[in-house]
Amino acid sequence: MDDVTSFAEAAESHLDDVYSYLVWFTGDRFAAEDLAGETFERALRLWHRFDPKRGSVRTWLCQVARTTALDHFRSEKRRTRREQVAAVPERYEERLLEGLSPELEAAIARLSAGEREVIVLRVVLDFDAKTAAGMLGISPTNCTTRLNRALGKLEEALHVAA
């Protein structure tokens, strides 16, 4: 558990993690940028509710980011339904992540947001199963199963591409 003294310190320390999480979760760099700013604004407002005994500040910031992203998904869903426009994702026209092979990036793009989320939490940000499961609101076993399934899909997609 990290020792946090101020919000500024927390924001500076964990901006990369929050941004990575949001990029993976949304699959959209521009949306992730907006959501990251919104996340830290919200986190500042809620900072008085942060309890270090209940978890690390990184976990807490990721939870705030998750709530912000879920709100974004809901509003996007409503907007899409209202405009009756078929959901045609344009977000992977630019490269989502630097240093990935095009096959892997394409495979990631085919994953659902839930699958990408469990990968970023467990693999990229290296949360343990219990913490990640707590953030997702599922059991650790379910979290591990979901992770294995997502990685299996990636492997399968890469195998097919090869």
Partner 1 sequence: MSQLDLTAQLRAARPVVPAELRELVASIAAQAEPEPRRRRTSWRRGLLVAAPVMAIAAGAAILLPSGGTRNGSPAALEGQLPTLAPPAVHRVAAPTFSASGTDQAKASTAAAAGSSAEALPYNPTRVEQINTTLELRVKNSQAVSDGTKQAVAITRALGGYASALNVDAQQRTGYANLVLRVPKQNVQKAVDRLSALGTIIGENVAIKDIQNQVDATTRKIERLVAQRAAWEKQFQTTETQKHIAALTDQIGKLRRGRNTTVRNAAFATVRLDLTTREAPAPVHHGNGPFHNLAVAFRMIGIGAVYALALGAPLLILFGLAWLGVRAVRRHRENALLSRS
How many residues touch partner 1 under the rule CB under 8 A: the total is: 55
Residue 156 interacts with partner 1 (CB under 8 A): yes or no: no
CB 70, min distance to partner 1, A: 7
Only one residue has tokens 């989502």, namely: 96
Identity of residue 58: R
Out of 119, 121, 132, 143, the only residue in the binding site for partner 1 (CB under 8 A) is 119
Positions 63 through 82 that interact with partner 1 (CB under 8 A) = 70, 73-74, 76-77
Query: For residues 27 and 95, what is the distance between their CA atoms, to the nearest angstrom?
Result: 10
Which helix (DSSP H) or strand (DSSP E) does residue 151 occupy?
A: helix 140-161
CB of 124 to partner 1, least distance (A): 6
Q: What residue type is assigned to position 104 of the chain?
A: L
Annotate 3-62 with three-state secondary structure.
Answer: CCCCHHHHHHHHHHHHHHHHHHHHCCHHHHHHHHHHHHHHHHHHHHHCCHHHCCHHHHHH
Residues of the shown chain interacting with partner 1 in the complex, contacts defined by CB under 8 A: 4, 6-8, 11-12, 15-16, 19-20, 23, 26-27, 29, 32-33, 36-37, 40-41, 44, 47-53, 70, 73-74, 76-77, 87, 96-101, 104, 112-114, 117, 119, 123-124, 126, 137-138, 151, 154-155, 158
